[in-house]
Structure 1
Amino acid sequence: MPIEPSFLDELARLEASLTRETDSRRRGEQESPDVGEGLTFSDYRRYTPGDDVRLVDWRVYARTDEYFIKQYEAERNLTVHVLLDTSASMDFGDEGEHKFAFGARFALAFAYFAAAGHDSFRVSTIGTDVERLDRGRSTRGELLALLDRLNEVEPDGRTDFAEALATYAKTIRSRSLVVVVSDFIDDPDAIEDGLAALGRSDVLLVQVVAPAERDPDVAGDAVFEDPETGTTQRAYFAGSTAESYRDRLDAHIDDVAARARRLRADHVVVDTDADFFESFAEVWRRQDERERRRRRR
């Protein structure tokens, strides 16, 4: 299911809503606007009660006898790296619940919100190799081009997380948030090795799960195929076998989450049958809160 250009307009509405929500919460916490290093002057506006008096330009007041606030624009001091898994296992799920389609929207949304927050973004696919999709311009025009490139990607093969993340880590040169969007169907040891290679970067794992994975629409004698290796296995899927499968899936998800915590990475699970914008908003709120806590330290 391709991503339509109108998706960017929907992201704009979501970003405006979340910005209002964040501003309201910060006012309630009586936080002052960021001033000083890392900010560049943008414009003036008239003072209103409740504004930080430190931002009043007293030289303008001396000339006009009116209070004006200096507005600042944050410099791009964070790079958001989004790594999207293109392994064959991501090519799973019904229309509207497809894992790769859902994950690609997450990748584009993170890029959009990075640009909206005056940060830079880089979006790459990880699979049999690492391929960068953006051209280094954190603009709306680049987002449109990125949308087209994501629509051209066809999941295939397998992803070696240890090798892919270690390879990508060598390209990180500045303070970064690395967002890995995947189903993480791989050896947990390989996933942990890959996360360790990312070093001091903030890391967020977004694990996408399709409803048919949690509860396969299969009963009785069936043949199961590994989409990444092509190997097949016949099994009778019912009763205790089905229950064992679900337990193993839950255990794998829990194992990935535990290894992420051990390496101080964040981990969230998103179901592809959920409303996309609600899912992304929840993940973004969580990441925003984590960033605010980091800045307080």
Structure 2
Amino acid sequence: MSQPAALRSRAEATAAGVPALLAAAEHLAGTVLLGEHGRRRAGLGDDFWQYRPVRPGDETRLIDWRRSARGDETFLREREWQIAQSVTVWLDGAASMRFASSDKLTTKADRAQLLALAVSILLVRGGERVGLAGTGLPPRRGEAQVLRLAEAFLREGEADYGVPETRAMLPHARALFISDFMGDFAAVEAALHKAADRGVRGILLQILDPAEEAFPFTGRTLFQSVGGSLSHETLKARDLKARYLERLAERKDALEALARLTGWRYSAHHTGESAQAALLWLWHAFDGAR
């Protein structure tokens, strides 16, 4: 197939999948109570939030003299923060995400796409701007942006393992990285340190298949990456289990430690678990990433 024809074929396949992904994400997002997420922060706005004692550096014009007259302390009237924040999403589209150990399970990519779009819907409806990491889709609000995100989330990459993207991240914004994080850890480490240098705080969500946690292999087994660049055959797969599980635990511990060091949050989610539970965790985790 020629390059233009292959590109058109991939584009048509992506377009065909958008309605189904949107419907599933809308349904999932509907299970979460939206509330007032994203706005309870002091700043510019019209709605009263709270009184607080005056601190050095506060502007005199912000003092509430009526409230201050009730006692000996001077109080400032804070208003609710109404400037929408920006959230940048990096969704791993590499080949490793297309793995599913059973026909009864969704692929890691399908679950990642669903969660990324569902939380984007909630954020947009909460008045925040959501965009993609990189320069392709800057953060915006509105239903049209949700459609753009759905189309972008369905695109697949050629590499075996994904590399986090940090280009064009707005300073002091928030971010969401969703991946199996099975590739080069140094790339993840570099991306989070770069984000932290810009004041960006966010969430790492690791998506794993149950077989990647349990390693249920015995006897002769051929292990091959989804993209086909890596392969290893063994006659005694069971002998590899302990070392594999040890390496996986080390990777998860390293991700959690990196998140803690850079002010991010980390969690692992398995495709055999409830997508709703993962979305609820994501939703509440964003409160801690402000």
Give the TM-score normalised by the residue count of structure 1: 0.69
The offset of 1:82, in angstroms, is 0.4
CA distance in 2, matches of 1:141, 1:73: 27
How is 1:1-297 mapped onto 2 (pairs within 5 angstroms)? 2=17, 3-15=20-32, 17-19=33-35, 34=40, 37-40=43-46, 75-93=82-100, 94-95=102-103, 96-124=105-133, 132=136, 134=137, 137-151=140-154, 153-159=155-161, 161=163, 164-165=164-165, 168-169=166-167, 171-198=168-195, 199=197, 200-228=199-227, 230-288=229-287, 290-291=288-289
The offset of 1:138, in angstroms, is 1.6
Query: Structure 2 regions of 5+ residues with no counterpart?
Result: 1-15, 52-78
Q: Which has the higher strand share?
A: 1
Give the TM-score normalised by the residue count of structure 2: 0.71
CA distance in 1, matches of 2:218, 2:232: 15
Aligned amino acid, residue 140 of structure 1: E
Matched residue SS, 1:14: coil
CA distance in 2, matches of 1:284, 1:35: 17
CA distance in 1, matches of 2:151, 2:243: 41
Give the direction of change, closer, same or farther, for the CA distance of 1:123–1:40 in structure 2 (3 Å limit).
farther
- Asked if the contact 1:184–1:207 (Cα under 8 Å) also holds between the matched residues in 2, the reply is yes
Give the direction of change, closer, same or farther, for the CA distance of 1:146–1:190 in structure 2 (3 Å limit).
closer
Give the direction of change, closer, same or farther, for the CA distance of 1:37–1:52 in structure 2 (3 Å limit).
closer
Aligned residues: 240
Residue matched to 1:46: none
Query: Structure 1 regions of 5+ residues with no counterpart?
Result: 23-32, 42-50, 54-71, 125-129
- Asked if the contact 1:77–1:175 (Cα under 8 Å) also holds between the matched residues in 2, the reply is no
Listed one character per residue, the Cα deviations across residues 30-50 of structure 1 (whole Å, up to 9, x for unaligned) are xxx958733257xxxxxxxxx
Aligned amino acid, residue 81 of structure 1: T
Give the direction of change, closer, same or farther, for the CA distance of 1:204–1:5 in structure 2 (3 Å limit).
closer
The offset of 1:73, in angstroms, is 8.5
Matched residue SS, 1:39: coil
Aligned amino acid, residue 120 of structure 1: R
Listed one character per residue, the Cα deviations across residues 137-194 of structure 1 (whole Å, up to 9, x for unaligned) are 421232134324433x234314563xx53xx34x123431111111111232232112
CA distance in 1, matches of 2:238, 2:41: 61
